[in-house]
Amino acid sequence: MSSYGWYVVQTQANAEMKAVSHLQRQGFTTYLPRTLKRRRHARRIETLPAPLFPRYLFVAIDMATQRWRSIQSTIGVSRLVCNGNEPASVDHDVIDRLQRQQNENGFIHLEAKPRYAVGEKLRLLDGVFSSCYGIYEGMADRERVAILLDMLGRKVRVLADIESVAAA
């Protein structure tokens, strides 16, 4: 690629991979930053690949030689993000930084941030204490929360998977 730049494509809902496939078939280079996301389903917790920016991906376009307007009608694409009539460019450094953060499997690791405030009332969704209420104490580690449950007249500290609790 000679004088290409990176641009932002908005995809249709859950169609990021479809858009990537059809853009690459047209000769465009794409970049879809992905992360591993934990999801609760049927009392199971799964870790699945997911886009880092849902409904968005990056495409490299050589404005001098490529027919970029075809992106607008590509299967899986909602629109090419534009400033007026021109596609909105993204600095090469942004793409480089994202790519440097990828692990050997191509996923970007995100630091887990607490979803709850200390002292917030939580409800356990499953396990021995399902349907019990407790007070959020903090993160025990990256994937477990510490909750204080009121049991037998005293506070008992319980560790639970972050996906097993919800705000009360």
- Asked if the model's pLDDT at residue 151 lies above 50, the reply is yes
pLDDT value at position 159? 83
- Asked if the model's pLDDT at residue 18 lies above 90, the reply is yes
pLDDT value at position 46? 81
Q: Which fold has domain 4-100?
A: Alpha-Beta Plaits (3.30.70)
- Asked if the model's pLDDT at residue 76 lies above 90, the reply is yes
For 121-167, CATH gives: 2.30.30.30
pLDDT value at position 1? 45
pLDDT digits (tens, 9 = 90+) for 29-38: 999 999 888 7
Contacts of 132 (CB under 8 A, 6+ apart): 123, 124, 149
Own/partner long-range contacts of 101-105 (Cβ < 8 Å, ≥24 apart): 102/33
44-51 and 56-62 as β-strands: parallel, antiparallel, unpaired? Answer: unpaired
CA dist., res. 39 & res. 53, Å (int): 17
pLDDT value at position 114? 64
pLDDT value at position 45? 74
- Asked if the model's pLDDT at residue 6 lies above 70, the reply is yes
Domain with CATH 2.30.30.30 in the chain: 121-167
